[in-house]
Structure 1
């Protein structure tokens, strides 16, 4: 995940569109064309050499001069092609951010600024492309002059009768040497372009080295106990975590035990480490120290597939994939339509979905944009309900929902997730007052962990201060 966190979106688009397109479409074609032209040039030189062996000597001299030109040109063309590839990344990034923030651009009247920035980035990318094409023409002109000199030498050999070959063979040699001018400069130019296109391979190899894979999805010889987890008890033992090697510690020495079938509300100010607990639980980041036990099993000792298949998550940003509503709720076809309608009823979406002409087969557009943010969040909650996992992580699931629906959802969570261990990362502090216990985080450490009524009775507690701030903002 660190690779995607640190790599700009425009650079990723450039890699998966521009570089891969060059690698799959352009590079094989130009490489094949270069080989054909190079073989044709060699065949023409050998055929014409029958007129006089001295032609080969002249050809070697001309090829040496052309090679000197090519070595000078090679550095320039690779540089221009590399700059042209790199200049596409900010252009793609700008287009993507413009499309995503189109409404905000119109509201703040920044249309001309974004158009000007688009023109500037387009000009920069086109300038590098123009320099690459101009440098190719520069080489082609000089190579054509060299090959024309070779053709002039062959013509002199034929006119002055130095060779004893027949006149028909001499005329064929003249015809072939006239073709050599265009073929030789084309083979050199396309050969340089082929080498320049290999910069795309170079960039992809860099990404392959930068992207460190996570732990194996499957570990041979290890398996979790049958029916695990049975109770859903989560224990953090001196747990420390940081997102990357060069970043500070995010979770520092976490020691706590969440009992099975318990609903725990996790609160704290922005940057306190609330969402990082979920990242640690799903092993999106490996621990820097310590460990996490679930029903006595170290989560680092089992495969990622077995671990993540036992959890359900309702993310902070609702994620819907292109497809049908049924596919988004049950992508592997493990459940019946009756079970899906049941969870839609419990999340108050059955009326909305039933009004659609195709029902569960209604299409979901890219990123679920044909649904409101609240409806997308409710669909994510329905997906978690359908999986019926023992451990549920709800990461600020009601942040985009109005207060009335929020109350209904909190009631649904309490009722539907009975018998499960539920971790509720709260955006509104008042929404976790009905939880069994409250975990208060600050600067990556556990500040308080107790029942809400106990924490409210302590005026000096951090939770009481957060609750007072929430009540004052509501009033």
Structure 2
């Protein structure tokens, strides 16, 4: 039964975490999750079955000893009852203490996993900044905390063993002296058998009671794993056949927000508060605002990464009626931190192998990476390290841009995509977006205001609400407008540059009309 149940629970834990919401990963560090999948699952898979079998063996052995002693002298059941009562009293104290200490030990282990994982990911930065000593000191602090908790747990175990031995010695003394007092009523064979089996109780009681306590402590790991198996899942991946949009969807890229509210969990406060606006097909929208204004939350609402209230209509279809796979596969995004996987460059560009090699090379040419990739061993079949470590930050961003070109979706989202790249790469990305995504609806979240000055309209967010929406030139003309205030915080010279760029874009659009 255990062989069948334990792997099933481990698999259930893995599937539940894969299908849970993004909020779960925001509030739980990678170290805490690794701790559950490493130490706790190992405990459930290996320790719990062995400990349970040991407890069963202990119950059988101790019952046999007590029966043999009772046959030799049934009066010895009286001290045996007292000894068992005291053993369970000590066990109760030990379990309550050790369980809390074990939980502390598990909690102090999670930061070690997190720090180790983060260190491996940032080795190049750590070496460049010569921060080895700081991280070494931080690692030792975490290790000291975990070691203290582990030492306290071992101390509790040894204290429990000492008192168990003391009680067993008292019982052996009671057995021995009872036969000395009543030596005429028993034969030597019964006496020897009773004393011999009583002496085996020293090791048996210490081992058996400790195993029963360990089993209860190991249930902490079972409890922690069950907590992960009960995480609320995301909505279904696939759309119900009756709700699938007809034809090619989306065909235009029109997005309508209807009284949209968003919060990251049912217990949290709203981060988006009643957004109402429409983005026309092929419109280029810039989204700006101070930190925490709710810019990125708009993107999360489009991908349904949080709890949406209200409605978002894409080409007239409410995205709440769609499966997550059908929705997310139709929206391209270039994030601030490019996401690349271990494997070939081609796999990163076209993981589903829906495009030909010629189309992949053409996409690389569009982002001016073809010449660089041609020099690599294997070309588009070259190996990429984890996270694309063998490419620069700008090149990784261009790879993501090429991937978006290959997807050819009607909606593109730029989540501060040019925040960490040099000005030349920024210009290249902006030029590619203007040419390759001219027929697409583009939403650009930006910290640098100049990146949205040529947008058709700019949406200004503040405290989760839309405070301004219009062409950047028109918004900058408002003396006390929010966009004007954001521009003035960059300085007089930059404000003038932004005004000139917005005016040129405004005049150009008037000519195009």
User: What is residue 364 of structure 2 aligned with on the other side?
Assistant: 344
Which consecutive unaligned segments of at least 5 residues does structure 2 have? 1-21, 498-513
Asked if the contact 2:254–2:278 (Cα under 8 Å) also holds between the matched residues in 1, the reply is yes
Residue deviations 1:232-281 (CA, integer Å, cap 9, x gap): 11011222223344544332332211111222222333333222211111
- The structural deviation recorded for 1:108 is 7.2
* From 267, 291, 308, the counterpart of 2:288: 267
- The within-5 A match list for 1:412-423 is 412-423=432-443
Once residues 273 and 420 of structure 1 are traced to their aligned partners in structure 2, the CA distance between those partners, rounded to angstroms, is 23
User: What is residue 410 of structure 1 aligned with on the other side?
Assistant: 430
Task: Check if 1:249 corresponds to 2:293.
Answer: no
- The structural deviation recorded for 1:173 is 5.2
Asked if the contact 2:240–2:322 (Cα under 8 Å) also holds between the matched residues in 1, the reply is no
User: What is residue 435 of structure 1 aligned with on the other side?
Assistant: 455
Residue deviations 1:31-57 (CA, integer Å, cap 9, x gap): 222322332222333344443434444
Once residues 205 and 463 of structure 1 are traced to their aligned partners in structure 2, the CA distance between those partners, rounded to angstroms, is 49
* From 45, 53, 57, the counterpart of 1:36: 57
Distance 1:54 1:222, change over 3 A: farther
Task: Check if 1:138 corresponds to 2:174.
Answer: no
Residue deviations 1:339-387 (CA, integer Å, cap 9, x gap): 2222222222223333222333333333332322222212222222222
2:236 aligns to what SS in structure 1?
Answer: coil
Distance 1:184 1:329, change over 3 A: same
Once residues 139 and 29 of structure 2 are traced to their aligned partners in structure 1, the CA distance between those partners, rounded to angstroms, is 17
Residue deviations 1:403-453 (CA, integer Å, cap 9, x gap): 122222212112222322221223332233433333333333333333455
User: What is residue 12 of structure 2 aligned with on the other side?
Assistant: none
Once residues 267 and 319 of structure 1 are traced to their aligned partners in structure 2, the CA distance between those partners, rounded to angstroms, is 23
Once residues 23 and 442 of structure 1 are traced to their aligned partners in structure 2, the CA distance between those partners, rounded to angstroms, is 48
- The within-5 A match list for 1:237-386 is 237-245=258-266, 247-288=268-309, 290-386=310-406
* From 387, 393, 401, the counterpart of 2:421: 401
Comparing 218-227 with 464-473, greater Cα deviation is found at 464-473
Distance 1:130 1:237, change over 3 A: same
Comparing 396-405 with 182-191, greater Cα deviation is found at 396-405
Distance 1:410 1:105, change over 3 A: closer
Comparing 433-442 with 341-350, greater Cα deviation is found at 433-442
Asked if the contact 2:394–2:425 (Cα under 8 Å) also holds between the matched residues in 1, the reply is no
TM-score normalised by length of structure 1: 0.87
Asked if the contact 1:391–1:422 (Cα under 8 Å) also holds between the matched residues in 2, the reply is yes
- The structural deviation recorded for 1:178 is 3.2
Residue deviations 1:83-134 (CA, integer Å, cap 9, x gap): 2222223444444555556677677776555544433332222222112111
Residue deviations 1:254-311 (CA, integer Å, cap 9, x gap): 22111112222223333332222111111112224x3111111111122222221221
Q: CA RMSD in A?
A: 3.2
Distance 1:399 1:55, change over 3 A: same
Asked if the contact 1:430–1:467 (Cα under 8 Å) also holds between the matched residues in 2, the reply is no
- The structural deviation recorded for 1:170 is 6.3
User: What is residue 252 of structure 2 aligned with on the other side?
Assistant: 231
Distance 1:35 1:364, change over 3 A: farther
Distance 1:285 1:63, change over 3 A: same
Once residues 38 and 395 of structure 2 are traced to their aligned partners in structure 1, the CA distance between those partners, rounded to angstroms, is 32
Which consecutive unaligned segments of at least 5 residues does structure 1 have? none
Asked if the contact 1:105–1:111 (Cα under 8 Å) also holds between the matched residues in 2, the reply is yes
Once residues 55 and 364 of structure 2 are traced to their aligned partners in structure 1, the CA distance between those partners, rounded to angstroms, is 61
1:287 aligns to what SS in structure 2?
Answer: strand
* From 176, 193, 199, the counterpart of 2:220: 199
- How many residue pairs end up in the alignment? 471
Once residues 150 and 439 of structure 1 are traced to their aligned partners in structure 2, the CA distance between those partners, rounded to angstroms, is 82
1:332 aligns to what SS in structure 2?
Answer: coil
Distance 1:336 1:42, change over 3 A: farther
User: What is residue 75 of structure 1 aligned with on the other side?
Assistant: 96
Once residues 372 and 278 of structure 2 are traced to their aligned partners in structure 1, the CA distance between those partners, rounded to angstroms, is 40
- The structural deviation recorded for 1:191 is 1.3
TM-score normalised by length of structure 2: 0.81
- The structural deviation recorded for 1:58 is 3.9
Once residues 300 and 48 of structure 2 are traced to their aligned partners in structure 1, the CA distance between those partners, rounded to angstroms, is 40
Distance 1:206 1:62, change over 3 A: same
- The within-5 A match list for 1:109-120 is 114-120=135-141
